[in-house]
C-alpha cells in the first residue's frame, strides 16, 4: 500500500507544514499540492464545499506526493468512512470532547477486528494501491481536534485512547472556550498556556501534536515550539493576502 508519508514523519518526530483548502475548486487544490506542502486538508466542516467537491479535489492532490487529509464535519462515523473511501489518508475530527468520542473516531478509521469501518474503499483502494485492505489500519491517520473546554478537561483521557494519529489544536474555538476572542494566532497568556498544556501532554503520551496558524511568523513560532504538523494558511488566506498586498502597493505607488 502507498505509505502515509506525513504520518510516518510525525511518528519519527519530524516537523511538517501543511495547507488548508476551503473553497470548492479542483484547480486550486492541484495548485496547492504542486506548491510542495507535506500535506493538505480539505475542510468539510467550515469550507465552502461538500462531498461531491471532495471527489474532484482529492484526485487533484493525488497528482503529487502531498498527503491528502480531510477535516470531516463531525465525529459521525458515516462521514469519516465516506471521506476515507474517497481516498483521504487521514481525517481531522472536530470538537472531540471525550475519550469515548475519540475512541469512536479511531474505530471508524479501522477495519475489523481493530475497529468498525465498513469495507468499500472504492477510490481509496485505487489510490492506496495493492494491499490497501490489509495495511490501511496502520496507514490511516485519525486526528482529534482539541478546541473546547470539555476537550481540555478530558485531555489526558483522550490522549490515552489507542490508535490516535495525532491531536490538532483549533486555536480560534479554543480561544472562545477560554472566554477570549476567536483570534487563533493569539499572544494572550491564557491562550498560550492552554496551547502549551496540550502540546506538553501530547509529548508525554507520544502523540503527534498539530495546530492551525494563519501566517508565516506564527507557523514558524509553532514549529519552533516543536509541533509536529503546522498549517501555514488556507487557500482563501493566501489569495486575500497577496491581493491585499499587491493592490495596496499599486495604489500607493501607481496612482
* DSSP conformation class of 104: H
Helix axes 26-34, 51-61, angle to 10 degrees: 30
Check 27, 34, 46, 56 and give the catalytic one.
46
Q: Does residue 98 sit in helix, strand or coil?
A: coil
The DSSP result for 63-80, as a single string, is TSSPEEEEE-SSS-HHHH
Measured distance CA(88)–CA(233) in Å, rounded:
20
Measured distance CA(190)–CA(178) in Å, rounded:
8
Measured distance CA(156)–CA(198) in Å, rounded:
9
End-to-end CA distance of the chain: 57
Place of cell 490538532: 168
C-alpha cell at 253: 505607488
Measured distance CA(131)–CA(109) in Å, rounded:
16
Other CB atoms closer than 10 Å to residue 3's CB: what's the count? 14
Question: Is residue 46 annotated as part of the catalytic site, yes or no?
Answer: yes
Answer for the pair 61, 29: CB distance below 8 angstroms, yes or no.
Answer: yes
Residue 68 φ/ψ, nearest 5 degrees: -90, 125
Answer for the pair 138, 181: CB distance below 8 angstroms, yes or no.
Answer: no
Active site residues: 46
Amino acid at each position: 500500500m502507498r505509505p502515509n508519508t506525513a504520518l510516518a514523519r510525525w511518528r519519527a518526530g519530524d516537523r511538517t507544514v501543511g495547507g488548508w483548502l476551503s473553497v470548492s475548486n479542483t484547480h486550486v487544490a492541484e495548485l496547492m499540492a504542486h506548491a510542495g506542502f507535506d500535506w493538505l486538508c480539505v475542510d468539510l466542516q467550515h469550507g465552502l464545499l461538500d462531498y461531491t467537491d471532495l471527489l474532484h479535489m482529492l484526485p487533484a492532490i493525488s497528482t503529487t506526493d502531498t498527503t491528502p487529509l480531510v477535516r470531516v464535519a463531525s465525529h459521525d462515523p458515516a462521514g469519516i468512512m465516506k471521506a476515507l473511501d474517497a481516498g483521504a489518508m487521514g481525517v481531522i475530527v472536530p470538537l472531540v470532547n471525550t475519550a469515548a468520542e475519540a475512541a469512536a473516531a479511531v474505530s471508524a478509521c479501522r477495519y475489523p477486528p481493530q475497529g468498525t469501518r465498513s469495507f468499500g474503499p472504492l477510490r481509496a483502494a485505487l489510490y492506496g494501491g495493492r494491499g490497501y485492505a490489509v495495511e490501511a489500519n496502520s496507514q490511516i491517520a485519525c486526528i482529534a481536534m482539541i478546541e473546547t473546554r470539555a476537550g481540555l478537561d478530558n485531555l489526558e483521557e483522550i490522549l490515552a485512547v489507542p490508535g490516535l494519529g495525532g491531536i490538532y489544536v483549533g486555536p480560534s474555538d479554543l480561544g472562545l472556550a477560554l472566554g477570549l476572542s476567536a483570534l487563533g494566532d493569539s499572544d494572550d497568556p491564557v491562550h498560550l498556556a492552554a496551547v502549551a498544556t496540550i502540546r506538553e501532554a501530547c509529548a508525554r503520551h507520544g502523540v503527534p501534536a498539530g495546530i492551525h496558524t494563519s501566517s508565516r511568523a506564527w507557523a514558524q513560532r509553532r514549529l519552533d515550539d516543536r509541533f509536529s504538523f503546522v498549517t501555514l494558511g488556507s487557500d482563501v488566506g493566501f489569495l486575500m493576502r497577496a491581493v491585499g498586498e499587491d493592490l495596496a502597493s499599486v495604489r500607493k505607488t501607481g496612482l
